[in-house]
Amino acid sequence: MRIRHLRVRDLKRHAELDLHPAAGVTVIRGPNEAGKSTIQRALEMALFRRVTAGGQEMEATRRWGASGDADPVIEMEFEVDGSIGRLRKVFGGARGTVDFELGAERLSDPAAVDARLAELTGLPSEKFFRSTASVRHQELADLERDGGTLRDRLQMSMSGADRGTHAAKRKLDDAIRRYRAEGVKNPGPLKSVRDEIAALESRVRTDEAELTRLQRDREALSRARDQKQSVDRQLQADEESLAASERAVALLRRQQECQTQYERYRRAAALRDDIGGLEAAHPSSIPLAQLRPAVERLRALANTISELRAELATEPDLSGYDVAIPAPRWRPWAALAVVLLVAALVLTFGGVATGLGEVARLAALALAGVAVVMLGVVFRQLRLAQDVRRQNLLRDDEISRRLRGRSERAHELQSTEEERDRELVDVGLPDVGSAETLLAQEMEHVAAIERLRAEYRGLLGDEQPTDDVANLRDQMAAEAEQLRHALSGMGQIGAEPERNRERFASAVTTTRTLREKAVGAEADSSARVEHNPVDAEEVAARVERLAALSERMRFLDRRSRIYEKTLASLNAAEQATMKKAARFLEQHMGADVEQITAGRYRDVRVDETELTFSVWSPEREDWVDVRHLSQGTLDQFYLAARLGLVRQVTEDRRPPLVFDDPFVTFDAERARGALELLKRMAADHQVIYLTCSDRYDAVADTVIVLPGPSARDSRSESPAGVSAEVSAEVGGSDSLADSGGDGAEWPSPAGAPEVV
């Protein structure tokens, strides 16, 4: 592409500017503030800036002092392969317009025009143009402005591919990093699925164990697990970075903390499982709080029954009390005594009457004495009869009382035995001894649970985890494993962090062996079945979910490996391509550098990875990085590099080369060599050289001289600290335009450009 005519309107200082550059080398010369950099900016905008672009940068391109509707306009007539093209861009933000003509081709869509111009120039963007074919002041060494696109264009030019691989590599690298992300906060798909699989596997193993216990006809199953895990990590330290070694020490300490936490949570999880197993395997289906009072009641009832039975057994036999004691017979004796008294009276009164006298009296006295004796016997018999009656009454009362008490105790014994039988039925046991045995077993079982709980509380202390201890254990194990990988990936620094932190003088090797053994307790068959929470349908659903996740894990891992292999292939292909590009640059840069430096340097070596340059130094007789040379020599090498890159990346397209006085650091001899090189390049590329010096006029096909600013600050009073001779900035219109501020006016440049 060769520019035949460039017209600029309302762009910074230029109200209107017409330029007719030559097909070869055009030198545009002018003093400071003549608008040379604005011309370079106009070329960049015409070729690469979209007309709808906005922002402060585009606002800064408006003509100084112009009204708000005076949008910058750039018109360009150019020639490509013998065809004449025209381009007109009006930069008006959202209302910007563009017209493009090339032969019979007509375009007005901004995106389509930009794509067509990129195709014609062989340069994809404004950044790329400024990194290669458009050089501003002191920007010769700026080759990394658009490094990814530069690599893509180099690869495309060498391999013939439709596009470069930088974007594809970036996408692949992002995808791999996203897939392999191991962070706790934002884990990648692989870690998310892996963690879910681990959780499900643990849950499924527990559920299957529960199902196995159910399938064994409610028989107790003791389960033992031995787990041994050996962790050998060798941390290698990087002797070049003390900060990295300190970070390695911090990682090691954190890893050890995680390991300790893991052991604690592992033991807590095992205790929790043991407690859960014991809770599900109580010897009694009745809680201890209910069983203990029930057994105590049974024990009290048994004691009461024993006491009642003992009382009933020790009571005398009442059969001997069935016959009453006979009362003494006093009546015959009383009758006989009365008869004798009557006889005595008769004898007494009869003897008087008959004259028996003394004999009758003695006989009467004898009979009376016998009667008195008999009356005494009668009185004694009466007292004995009363005693017998009282004794019989007492006997009857005692018999009645004892019979009544025995009946009550027998009834109490019967009711107590019935109550005991009901209590035994409630606890489901045959006798009190079985209840006592069951209570002892249940108390021992509860004591074992309490011991485990005490150990569990001793492990966790006041800490009350909001998450499950098994999850915490797994998190600690995962974090410890992540830290182990991080340390292993740190090389020598990770191997010996303490030694590197102490001026790399000691070595640390940490080896730990972990052993874990958890024993599950036996479970009572009926109680275990009743308290077993497992659901076969839920277990089947979890197994199906686990299978789906495993398949998902294999799919993700397979895709990740494909991405990695693809990225490796792209890297290998890009490396091979960059080697070819580097050799191309070495070949062309050598000749260009030799011409610029008058033969002092000619052998150039290009690092295909970093795109850095080395040159053979005749003094040192060795390769030297060009960045170690003087600034002027460094600029000369990067000038040759830019020209070589332009040849390489644009292939058969020939964009114009625009230079804004980049030879200010060159001495006279090397500046002439550089100009001769540009003159030679003009056979293929149009060269536009912007400068304020006339020493380049001799090599130019056309010299365009820009007028300098003529306005001066003519105010009667200058601001404090500012010289009155300081030049005012100039506008670009023949008319006086209001700046919109304090009414200042902007004069136009003194005259139009002059072609020499």
What's residue 6's pLDDT? 94
| Residue 662 counted as domain residue | yes
Residue 461 pLDDT > 80, yes or no? no
What's residue 726's pLDDT? 34
Q: Model confidence over 533-585: pLDDT tens digits?
A: 667 777 788 788 888 888 888 887 888 888 788 878 777 777 777 777 777 77
Choice between 622 and 131, residue whose per-residue pLDDT is larger: 622
What's residue 330's pLDDT? 63
Beta strand segments in 151-195, E: none
Q: Model confidence over 375-411: pLDDT tens digits?
A: 787 788 778 877 777 777 776 666 666 656 667 777 8
Q: C-alpha angle with apex 654: 47 to 684, nearest 5 degrees?
A: 140
What is the C-alpha separation between 548 and 554, in angstroms, rounded?
10
Tell me the average pLDDT across 115-137: 81
Percentage, residues of the chain above pLDDT 70? 74
What's residue 516's pLDDT? 43
| Residue 92 counted as domain residue | yes
Q: How many CA atoms lie within 13 A of 344 on its CB side?
A: 16
What's residue 5's pLDDT? 94
Residue 28 pLDDT > 90, yes or no? yes
Q: Model confidence over 471-521: pLDDT tens digits?
A: 877 888 888 888 788 878 877 767 766 666 665 544 435 543 444 443 344
| Residue 660 counted as domain residue | yes
C-beta neighbour count of 511 within 10 angstroms: 9
| Residue 703 counted as domain residue | yes
Choice between 271 and 394, residue whose per-residue pLDDT is larger: 271
| Residue 154 counted as domain residue | no
Residue 207 pLDDT > 50, yes or no? yes
Residue 735 pLDDT > 50, yes or no? no
What's residue 8's pLDDT? 94
Residue 98 pLDDT > 90, yes or no? yes
Task: pLDDT band for 647, please (50, 70, 90 cuts).
Answer: confident
Residue 81 pLDDT > 80, yes or no? yes
Q: Looking at 147-151, 595-599, 684-688, 692-696, which range is the least confident one? A: 147-151
Mean pLDDT, all residues of the chain? 75
What's residue 517's pLDDT? 46
What's residue 20's pLDDT? 93
What's residue 160's pLDDT? 42
| Residue 5 counted as domain residue | yes
Q: Which of 65, 43, 130, 166 is nearest to 578 (CA)?
A: 166
Tell me the average pLDDT across 230-246: 54
| CATH code of the domain in which 98 resides | 3.40.50.300
Residue 115 pLDDT > 80, yes or no? yes
Q: Which range has highest mean pLDDT (136-145, 531-540, 679-688)?
A: 679-688
* Helix, strand, coil in percent for the chain, rounding step 5: 55, 15, 30
Q: C-alpha angle with apex 434: 429 to 436, nearest 5 degrees?
A: 120
Whether 556 contacts 549, CB under 8 Å: no
Alpha helices in 597-630 (DSSP H): none
Domain count, the chain: 1
| Residue 285 counted as domain residue | no
Rg (CA), the chain: 61
List the end-to-end C-alpha distance of the chain, in Å, as a whole number.
24
Choice between 678 and 218, residue whose per-residue pLDDT is larger: 678
Residue 59 pLDDT > 50, yes or no? yes
What's residue 325's pLDDT? 53
What's residue 665's pLDDT? 80
Residue 317 pLDDT > 60, yes or no? no
| Residue 293 counted as domain residue | no
Residue 617 pLDDT > 80, yes or no? yes
Residue 229 pLDDT > 70, yes or no? no
Q: Which domain, by its residues, includes 691?
A: 1-122+655-717
What's residue 515's pLDDT? 42
**pTM tops 0.75, yes or no:** no
What is the C-alpha separation between 132 and 93, in angstroms, rounded?
27
Tokens of 728: 């005012």
Q: Looking at 361-375, 499-513, 701-715, which range is the least confident one? A: 499-513
Q: C-alpha angle with apex 375: 372 to 380, nearest 5 degrees?
A: 130
Task: pLDDT band for 79, please (50, 70, 90 cuts).
Answer: very high
Q: How many CA atoms lie within 13 A of 78 on its CB side?
A: 25
